[in-house]
Amino acid sequence: MAIHFLPDVFGTHKKWTKECAESGQVPNMTWCPKALMDWGLLSNYYNQRVLDLIYSAGGNADFPNAIYIDAVDLKGLIRTGTDKINPKAALAGDSHGAEGYAYAATLVAANVRRLCRSGCEAQLAMAEAARNAHPLSLWEDPAHGRSLERREGDGPDGVAGV
């Protein structure tokens, strides 16, 4: 956005930032994501809940045939913190900046559990160990849109769009 380079003579920058932050529909969010990756990281923070909920349901739920995820990180994680992947400049001082959820390990574990009913204990144990290294992680950072509370429009289990 070019608003950083324009003089804020009429107070419009503050108004734009407020409107942008409110568009995220997260209570008390005051930060306006400046880049597409920022929006993807925010989305991942809430998507990890859905992924973990489906996995935790065991055989009672399956993942969809196609999953669209932003910002896949090292070790098959989805970045859920505020630090950009391979950034030129990132938010500094955020203790959860490089936080991630075990996206790939969750899908692998779910597929092993679903497709291999017996004889795959070792494979499932490896996938579970990878999941346990980066479990669902939620925290309060309302200014940056991270909340333990559900967002407006979430369903009864905190799942977006239900």
Q: Is the pLDDT of residue 161 over 80?
A: no
What is the per-residue DSSP string for the chain?
A: -GGGGS--TTSHHHHHHHHHHHHT--TT------SHHHHHHHHHHHHHHHHHHHHHTGGG----S----S-B-GGGPEE-SSSPSS-SS---S-TTTT-EE-HHHHHHHHHHHHH--SS-HHHHHHHHHHHHHS------BGGGTB-SSPPTT--TTS-TT-
| Residues 39-69 pLDDT 10s | 999 999 999 999 999 999 988 999 988 888 9
Give the pLDDT of residue 3: 46
- Percent share of the chain, pLDDT over 90: 48
Question: For 101-132, how does the pLDDT look when each residue is reduced to its tens digit (9 = 90+)?
Answer: 999 999 999 999 999 878 899 999 999 999 99
Confidence at 2, pLDDT banded by 50, 70, 90: very low
What are the boundaries of each domain within the chain?
Answer: 35-144
* Res 153 pLDDT > 70: no
The model carries a pTM of 0.74
Q: Per residue in 15-46, pLDDT tens?
A: 888 898 888 888 899 999 988 999 999 999 99
